[in-house]
Structures are given as structure tokens and as C-alpha cells.
């Protein structure tokens, strides 16, 4: 059963909207700018970009057909400059090729579950609502959470909960699932949430929110192959980002953020020998980091939009080729500075590492 579009527009607050617009704006203030929304969802971020930048062309991707239908309705007044495509975000190269666009100038990833998926009870994403165990973002294809829970070997289920959910009670939870599914197939989100809660020690249930949160996250990631897609999507997006183009990524859990951090960091440092006084042609960084580490939401943002509480934002700008040391060697910075220029010297402390 569908959700009323007017109701969704009234309740859906795009996460970190103003900060995203601020970071993307310099890349969009140019003729012929193309903005890619990799996770279109209900179209809140996309609508704001189109309103603020009247000449920008939007390419919006989403694997969820229902989300695309809502966004098409929401963005219909911009019909002359939007392309909404049913695709996963790692399919950008094919999408751009089909549209005859060699590059794009700004891009936004808003990862995790969309408001539509959380708010529609029959999708099975929310542990607080009873629904069939589905969890597919694209309901036209793929394996369901019900098939994972009832069909996977116990050892594989433990691995998924530990790796994707970072669940320390994975073994206990899976033992409970295996016992239950031997009696009757587990088909509802409420039944699974109850099983998880009962399997976790009482002391551990008192903190950290709903005890089923990590299990549901792990199943969702497995069903939608989210991390596999993200690992290829970010590098391929950076390959197609125009010089002075900008990419903003919002993650909601540490596994996503780690992938994004690694992909950006690899291109924000030199690849040349560390002991040379100059940067060799073609070895300089190709990205400039725009955020210091990952940016958390402000208290005001969380008060306005509780779903922003766990967000981590990272952003980067593609460096123009002439600034990368191509064609002529350039002096290497004396020390590593924020923004990725230069490489860390031996013994130098890097943010996030232990002393």
C-alpha cells in the first residue's frame, strides 16, 4: 500500500540539507553543470538543488521503484532538466554513457534506508512495526530477508550479524533463530525482533536503543548487497567527476563511513616516492578533502530531524589536472597538511591513529 505524497513531503526532512547545498554550490555555479543524486529517495535534496541552481541538470538514481515514482511527482515542474533512472549507485558509468554525459560536476550520496522505506510498514525494514520480512530496496528482484533468515547456514548468519551489524551477541541470536525456524518459518519482522530481544542478555538490553537494530541493519545490508555496491560506486564516481567537481557522502554507520573514508583518502595523497623533494608528474593528489575527518550533525539538526543523529558527512573536490603536478615536477609540501596535499613523513602522527 502506497504512502500519500503530500503526507511524505510534509514529514520528510532532508538530512543536513543546508550543509550539503553549501558544499555542492561551488561545483554547480558553472554553465552546463550536471548534478548526480545517487540515492534519490523522496527527492528532498534534489528539489533543493534544482531550486537553487536554475540551469543545473539532475540525474537521479534509485533502486526503489516506489521512491522514483514519488520523486517524479515531486520534481515534475523541473521535467525539462531531470533524468530519473532506476539503477543502483554503482551503475553510474552506464547511466552517464546512456545519457551521453562524459562527466558530472557534483554528486550526493545519502546512504542507508530512506524515509519512504522506513515509514512504509509493509516493507519490513523497521523493527518497531510488524511486516513481512522483505527488506529489498528494489522489490522487483533479489533475495528477501525472510529467505536469508530461514535459509542461510548458521555460520553464515553469524558472520553477517558480526560483520554487517557489528553484533557481539551474534552467536546467541543465531542459535535462537535456528531453534525457532526448526519449529516454524520466521516470516514477520515483529517475530524476528522478539527473538533477538529475548536472545540478548537483559543487562545489554538496557542501553543502546532497540536490541534488534544491529540484526536488522545486517540483514538489510546482506539483502541489498549495499557494501559491495558502495565499494565500487565511490571510486567509479570519482573517476567520472569533472575537475573542480565536488562529491558529498553521508553515511549512517561505521562500515559505510570506513569505505568512503578509504576511497577519498587514497586520492587525497601523493602516490610518488616519499623521500623526493618534488612531486613527480602525475603522482600528486587528485582530490582535496573539504571536511576535517567526518562531520557530525549539529544539535539543532538532530533536534529538527532525529534521523540525522548518526550521520557522518564527508566531502571532496576533484583537483584540476594542472594542479596535480602533471607536465612539470612541483615542490612537495614540507609536511602533510589537511586537505591531502603531500604525504605523511615517517613518524608523523595522523589524525585517528593512536599515539
Q: Mind spelling out the 3-state secondary structure of the chain?
A: CCCCHHHHHHHCCCCCHHHHHHHHHHHHCCCCCEEEECCCCCCHHHHHHHHHCCCCEEEEEECCHHHHHHHHHHCHHHHHHEEEEECCHHHHHHHHHHHCCCCEEEEEEECCCCHHHHHCHHHCCCCCCCCECCCCCCCCCCCCHHHHHHHCCHHHHHHHHHHHHCCCCHHHHHHHHHHHHHHCCCCEHHHHHHHHHHHCCHHHHCCCCCCCHHHHHHHHHHHHCHHHHHHHHHHHHHHHEEEEEEEEEEECCHHHHHHHHHHHHHHCCCCCCCCCCEECCCCCCCEEECCCCCECCCHHHHHHCHHHCCCEEEEEEECCHHHCCCCCCEECCCCCCCCCCCCCCCCCCCCCCCC
Residue 83 marked ligand-binding: no
- Is 353 within a domain? no
Contact 212, 193 (CB under 8 A): yes
Of 157, 188, 223, which residue is a domain's last? Answer: 223
Residue 70 marked ligand-binding: no
- Is 341 within a domain? no
Give the Cα-Cα-Cα angle 129, 40, 18 (nearest 5 degrees).
100
pLDDT at 233 over 60: yes
- Is 218 within a domain? yes
Bridge-based pairing of strands 278-279 and 330-331 is antiparallel
- Tell me, yes or no, whether 35 and 64 share the same domain: yes
- Tell me, yes or no, whether 244 and 100 share the same domain: yes
318 has which bridge partners? Answer: 287
Domain, as residue range, for 170: 122-223
- Tell me, yes or no, whether 160 and 91 share the same domain: no
User: In this predicted structure, what is the pLDDT of residue 272?
Assistant: 61
Torsion angle in degrees (nearest 10) through CA of 12, 61, 164, 205 = 10
Residue 23 sits in a domain whose CATH number is 3.40.50.150
Q: Sorting pLDDT into bands at 50, 70 and 90, what band is 140? A: confident
Nearest alpha-carbon partner for 138 in 49, 229, 5? 229
User: In this predicted structure, what is the pLDDT of residue 122?
Assistant: 55
- Percentage of residues in the chain with pLDDT exceeding 90? 68
- Tell me, yes or no, whether 252 and 171 share the same domain: no
Radius of gyration of the chain (CA): 22
Of 164, 199, 223, which residue is a domain's last? Answer: 223
Residue 45 marked ligand-binding: yes
User: In this predicted structure, what is the pLDDT of residue 130?
Assistant: 83
- Is 345 within a domain? no
- Tell me, yes or no, whether 31 and 59 share the same domain: yes
Of 158, 191, 223, which residue is a domain's last? Answer: 223
Residue 44 marked ligand-binding: yes
- Tell me, yes or no, whether 206 and 294 share the same domain: no
More confident residue, 33 or 306: 33
- Tell me, yes or no, whether 36 and 167 share the same domain: no
Q: Sorting pLDDT into bands at 50, 70 and 90, what band is 22? A: very high
- Tell me, yes or no, whether 15 and 33 share the same domain: yes
User: In this predicted structure, what is the pLDDT of residue 205?
Assistant: 84
- Is 211 within a domain? yes
Nearest alpha-carbon partner for 260 in 300, 230, 286? 230
- Tell me, yes or no, whether 129 and 219 share the same domain: yes
pLDDT tens digits, one per residue of 185-223: 999 999 999 999 999 998 888 777 788 989 999 999 999
The Cα–Cα gap between 47 and 79 comes to 12
- Tell me, yes or no, whether 148 and 218 share the same domain: yes
Q: Sorting pLDDT into bands at 50, 70 and 90, what band is 13? A: confident
User: In this predicted structure, what is the pLDDT of residue 325?
Assistant: 47
pLDDT at 262 over 80: yes
User: In this predicted structure, what is the pLDDT of residue 342?
Assistant: 36
- Is 126 within a domain? yes
Q: For cell 528532498, name the residue.
A: 44
pLDDT tens digits, one per residue of 289-347: 999 999 999 999 999 988 889 999 999 999 986 555 443 334 444 333 333 333 333 33
Residue 130 marked ligand-binding: no
CB count in 10 Å sphere of residue 183? 7
- Is 74 within a domain? yes
- Tell me, yes or no, whether 245 and 285 share the same domain: yes
- Tell me, yes or no, whether 187 and 271 share the same domain: no
- Is 339 within a domain? no
58 has which bridge partners? Answer: 35, 82
Q: For cell 519512504, name the residue.
A: 116
User: In this predicted structure, what is the pLDDT of residue 139?
Assistant: 85
**pLDDT-wise least confident of 98-102, 131-135, 152-156:** 131-135
pLDDT tens digits, one per residue of 38-81: 999 999 999 999 999 999 999 999 999 999 999 999 999 999 99
User: In this predicted structure, what is the pLDDT of residue 284?
Assistant: 77
Residue 161 sits in a domain whose CATH number is 1.10.150.170
pLDDT at 354 over 50: no
Q: For cell 560506486, name the residue.
A: 233
Domain count, the chain: 2
C-alpha cell at 324: 596535480
Q: Sorting pLDDT into bands at 50, 70 and 90, what band is 273? A: low
Amino acid at each position: 500500500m502506497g504512502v500519500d505524497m503530500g503526507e511524505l513531503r510534509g514529514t520528510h526532512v532532508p538530512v543536513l540539507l543546508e550543509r550539503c547545498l553549501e558544499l555542492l554550490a561551488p561545483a554547480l555555479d558553472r554553465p552546463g553543470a550536471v548534478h548526480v543524486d545517487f540515492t534519490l529517495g523522496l527527492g528532498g535534496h534534489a528539489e533543493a538543488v534544482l531550486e537553487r541552481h536554475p540551469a543545473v541538470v539532475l540525474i537521479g538514481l534509485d533502486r526503489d521503484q516506489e521512491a522514483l515514482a514519488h520523486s517524479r511527482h515531486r520534481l515534475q515542474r523541473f521535467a525539462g532538466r531531470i533524468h530519473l533512472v532506476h539503477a543502483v549507485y554503482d551503475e553510474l558509468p552506464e547511466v552517464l554513457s546512456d545519457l551521453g554525459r562524459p562527466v558530472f560536476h557534483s554528486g550526493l550520496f545519502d546512504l542507508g534506508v530512506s524515509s519512504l522505506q522506513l515509514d512504509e510498514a509493509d516493507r519490513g525494514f523497521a523493527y518497531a512495526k510488524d511486516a513481512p520480512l522483505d527488506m529489498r530496496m528494489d522489490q522487483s528482484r533479489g533475495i528477501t530477508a525472510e529467505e536469508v533468515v530461514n535459509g542461510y547456514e548458521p555460520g553464515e548468519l553469524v558472520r553477517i550479524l558480526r560483520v554487517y551489524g557489528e553484533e557481539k551477541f551474534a552467536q546467541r541470536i543465531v542459535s535462537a533463530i535456528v531453534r525457532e525456524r526448526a519449529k516454524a518459518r520466521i516470516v514477520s519482522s515483529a517475530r524476528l525482533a522478539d527473538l533477538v530481544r529475548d536472545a540478548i542478555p537483559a543487562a545489554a538490553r538496557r542501553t543502546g536503543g532497540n536490541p534488534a537494530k544491529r540484526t536488522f541493519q545486517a540483514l538489510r545490508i546482506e539483502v541489498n548487497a549495499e557494501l559491495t555496491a558502495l565499494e565500487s560506486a565511490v571510486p567509479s564516481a570519482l573517476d567520472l567527476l569533472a575537475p573542480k567537481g565536488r562529491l558529498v557522502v553521508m553515511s549512517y554507520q561505521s562500515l559505510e563511513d570506513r569505505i568512503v573514508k578509504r576511497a577519498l583518502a587514497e586520492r587525497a595523497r601523493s602516490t610518488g616516492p616519499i623521500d623526493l623533494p618534488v612531486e613527480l608528474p602525475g603522482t600528486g593528489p587528485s582530490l582535496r578533502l573539504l571536511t576535517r575527518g567526518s562531520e557530525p550533525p549539529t544539535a539543532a539538526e538532530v533536534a529538527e530531524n532525529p534521523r540525522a543523529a548518526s550521520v557522518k558527512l564527508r566531502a571532496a573536490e576533484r583537483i584540476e589536472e594542472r594542479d596535480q603536478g602533471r607536465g612539470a615536477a612541483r615542490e612537495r609540501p614540507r609536511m602533510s597538511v589537511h586537505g591531502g596535499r603531500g604525504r605523511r613523513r615517517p613518524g608523523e602522527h595522523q589524525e585517528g591513529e593512536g599515539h
